Amino acid sequence: MFEVPSVSSLYLQLALPGISLAAWATLLLVIDLFIPKNRKSVTAWLAIGGIGFAFVVNLLTFNSSGTAFLGMFVADSFGAFMNIIILVGAAIGILLSVDYLKRTDIERGEFYPLMLLTTVGMMFMASANDLTIVFVALELLSIPLYVLAAFRAPDLKSEESGMKYFILGSFSSAFFVFGAALIYGATGTTNLQEISAALGLLGAVTGPSPFLLLLGAGMMLVGLGFKVAVVPFHAWTPDVYEGAPTPVTAFMSVGAKAGGFAALLRILIVGLPLLMVGEQTSASWQTIVWLLAAATLILGNLVAISQTNIKRMLAYSSIAHAGYIMMAVAAAGTPGVGDQAVRAALVYLLSYTFTNLGAFAIAMTLEKNDGTGTDISTFNGLFRTRPALAIMMTVFMLSLTGIPLTSGFIGKWLVFQSTLSADLVPLAVIGVLTSVVSAYYYIRIVVNMFFGEGAGDPAEGATPYVNWAIYISFAGTVLLGIIPVLVTTLSDRITLVAALVP
C-alpha cells in the first residue's frame, strides 16, 4: 500500500536550516556532557554557532522555493523571512541567558539545546504546508518552552509558570488537533494547497460542508490564538511571563508569537482563503479575527496601564502587539490584500522582535539575583546612573509606541495601511486610538528613568553578553526605522497568496 519514498525525493536540502539546527541541538545534548560545569558558556557559544550556521544557510537559500517531505514542508520567502525573525530572536535570547543563568544559579547545560529545539519548532511551523506538520511543530515549539518556563524550579513562581503554561498549552493543542481533524473531515486532506482547492467546490452539492469548515477553522484559531496570546486566550500570559526566567520570557514573547502567527497566516491564507459562505466576498474568518484583534487591542492596552511589574507590563504589551498583528491577519481575509497584509505582519514581527528583546534585556539588567527588582519603580533615576541604558530603553519604548524613526512606526504603518486597504476602517481607528493609550504606559517608564525620584539602579546585570544583546536590538530598532528599505526589499518578495495558484 505505502511506498517508501527515497531520500532524494524528500528534497531535504530545502529544509536545511531547520534540519541542521535540529541535528545540532541533539548533538549538543551529548557534547554538553563533556563540558565542565563551570564553563557552560561554551555550550552557549556552540548553540549560537549552530544558529549562525542556520542563519547563513537561510540567507543563502532565501530565494529558493519548492516543497519537501512529499509536499508537507514548503520552502519559500515567507518561511525564510520568518526564519530570520526566529533565529535573530533565538540568538539574542541565548546571549541574554549566559550570565543570567550563572548569577541566578540555574546554569545547566540542557538549557541551550532546549532553546534550539523550540527554535526548530518555530522554524518548522513557519514552513509547514500540512496540518499534521503544523501540529508536530507546535508541540516541538511548546514542550521545550514548558520546561524552560519552569527552569528556575524550585522557585514557586517559576514552577507555577511552567505548570500553567503546560496545562493550558495542552488544552490549546487539543483544540488545534480537533480543528485540524474537522477540516480533514470536510475536505479529505490535510495538505494546505489541497484544502484550498477543495474549498473551490464550496457551495456545490458534492462540496465540503461549510459547517465543519467553520468549526474546524474556529478551533484552530483557538489553538494558535493561545500561542500568540490574543484575547480571550491570553489569561496565561502575565503569570507565565512573570514567573519564567527573564531570558526565556523575552524569547518566548517574540519566538512563540512568530511561530504562532506564521502557522496562522499559512493556514488562513494558503489553506482557507476561499472559505466564504453564501454571498460573502471576503473570507468568513475575517469577522472573527477582526473581533479578536479589536478585543486584544483594547484589553491588552488598557490592562497594561495598571501594571506595576515590568514583566507583567511587557506581558500585556505583548498581548496588545498580538492585536496589531491580528489586524494584519484580518486584513488578509479580503481578496487582493493578502500579500500586502502578510508582508506587514512579518515586518511588524521583525520590528517587535528587536524592540521587545531590547526592552526585556534592559529590564533584566535591573533584575536582582533572587528575581526581585522587576517593579517599574526600579527604573527610577536610571538615567542618572546608566544614561546609555536609559536612552536605549527610551528608544525601545518609543518604538513600542510606534513613534517615527523607530522600527515600531514602520511596522504599525504597514499594518494600518493593509487594514485600510482591506476597508476595515473601524478596526484601524481602534488600532490608532489604542496606540495612544499605549503611549501612556510606555512613557511612564521613560518618566521613571529620567525624572523619577531615587538614586538609580546600578544595573548590575548589564554584563558584556547582555550589552551585546542590547546593542544588537538597538541597532535593529533604529536601522529598521530610518532605512526601512533594508527589510522591505526582502519582505517585498513574499508571495504567500500566489502560492495557492499552482
Partner 1 sequence: MENTGFSLLTLVLFLPMVGFSILLFMREEQEAAIKWTALGTSLVTFVASLLLWIGFDFNNPGLQFVQQWGFLPSYGINYYVGIDGLSLLLIILTTFIMPIGILSSFNSHIFHERGRIKLYFMFMLLLEWAMLGVFMAQDLVIFYIFWEVTLVPMYFLIGIWGAERRIYAAVKFFLYTMAGSILMLLAILYVGLQAGTFAVPEIIAGIQSGAISFPLDGIFSTQSFLFLGFFIAFAIKVPIWPLHSWLPDAHVQAPTAGSVILAGVMLKLGTYGLVRFCLPLFPEASIAWAPVVGVLAVIGIIYGAWVSYAQTDIKKLVAYSSVSHLGFVVLGIFALNSQGIEGSILQMVNHGISTGGLFLLVGMLYERRHTKDIAAYGGIWKALPFFGGISLVVTLSSMGLPGLNGFVGEFMILLGTFGSNSLGFFYAMFATVGVILAAVYSLYMFQRVYMGELDKEENKHLEPMKWNEIAVIIPILIAIFLIGLQPAPFFDTMNASVGSLVAHIGQFVDTTVAQASP
Going by C-alpha positions, the residue among 61, 72, 79, 74 that lies closest to residue 5 is 72
Which span sits near partner 1 by CB under 8 A: 52-60, 128-136, 196-204, 403-411? Answer: 403-411
291 vs 420, beta carbon nearer partner 1: 420
Residue 479 touching partner 1 (CB under 8 A): no
Give SS3 for 337: coil
Residue 174 touching partner 1 (CB under 8 A): no
104-133 positions binding partner 1, by CB under 8 A: none
Going by C-alpha positions, the residue among 273, 410, 270 that lies closest to residue 345 is 410
Residue 416 touching partner 1 (CB under 8 A): yes
- Look up residue 270 and give its DSSP letter: I
Distance of closest approach, residue 388 Cβ to partner 1, in angstroms: 12
Considering only residues 35, 405, 478, 479, which one is a binding residue for partner 1 as defined by CB under 8 A? 405
Residue 63 touching partner 1 (CB under 8 A): no
Q: At what angle do helices 156-187 and 236-243 cross, to 10 degrees?
A: 140
Residue 409 touching partner 1 (CB under 8 A): yes
Which span sits near partner 1 by CB under 8 A: 64-72, 103-111, 192-200, 406-414? Answer: 406-414
Residue 433 touching partner 1 (CB under 8 A): yes
Going by C-alpha positions, the residue among 415, 423, 187, 413 that lies closest to residue 282 is 423
Distance of closest approach, residue 426 Cβ to partner 1, in angstroms: 11
- What is the rounded distance in angstroms from the CA atom of residue 256 to the CA atom of residue 115? 12
Residue 413 touching partner 1 (CB under 8 A): yes
Counting residues that bind partner 1 (by CB under 8 A) gives 29
The amino acid occupying position 58 is N
Residue 403 touching partner 1 (CB under 8 A): yes
Going by C-alpha positions, the residue among 164, 138, 434, 441 that lies closest to residue 296 is 434
70 vs 432, beta carbon nearer partner 1: 432
Considering only residues 29, 197, 291, 420, which one is a binding residue for partner 1 as defined by CB under 8 A? 420
- Look up residue 422 and give its DSSP letter: T
Residue 475 touching partner 1 (CB under 8 A): no
Residue 478 touching partner 1 (CB under 8 A): no
Distance of closest approach, residue 209 Cβ to partner 1, in angstroms: 37
How far, in whole angstroms, is CA 184 from its chain's centroid?
27
Considering only residues 414, 445, 494, 499, which one is a binding residue for partner 1 as defined by CB under 8 A? 414
Going by C-alpha positions, the residue among 333, 314, 170 that lies closest to residue 264 is 333
Burial class (CB within 10 angstroms; exposed 0-12, middle 13-18, buried 19+) of 53: middle
Distance of closest approach, residue 447 Cβ to partner 1, in angstroms: 6
315 vs 487, beta carbon nearer partner 1: 487
- What is the rounded distance in angstroms from the CA atom of residue 274 to the CA atom of residue 8? 34
Which alpha helices (H) appear in 332-406, and where do they start and end? 338-366, 382-385, 387-401
Distance of closest approach, residue 475 Cβ to partner 1, in angstroms: 15
Give SS3 for 468: helix
Considering only residues 400, 428, 496, 499, which one is a binding residue for partner 1 as defined by CB under 8 A? 428
378-397 positions binding partner 1, by CB under 8 A: 387
Which alpha helices (H) appear in 104-209, and where do they start and end? 111-127, 131-149, 156-187, 192-199
Residue 305 touching partner 1 (CB under 8 A): no
Burial class (CB within 10 angstroms; exposed 0-12, middle 13-18, buried 19+) of 11: middle
Residue 492 touching partner 1 (CB under 8 A): yes
Considering only residues 435, 441, 473, 499, which one is a binding residue for partner 1 as defined by CB under 8 A? 435
Residue 436 touching partner 1 (CB under 8 A): yes
- Return all residues near 453 (Cβ < 8 A) that are at least 6 apart: 380, 381
- What is the rounded distance in angstroms from the CA atom of residue 208 to the CA atom of residue 216? 12
450 vs 468, beta carbon nearer partner 1: 450
Distance of closest approach, residue 428 Cβ to partner 1, in angstroms: 6
Q: Which residues bind partner 1 (CB under 8 A)?
A: 387, 398, 403-405, 409-410, 413-414, 416-417, 420-421, 428-429, 432-433, 435-436, 439-440, 443, 447, 450-451, 484-485, 488, 492
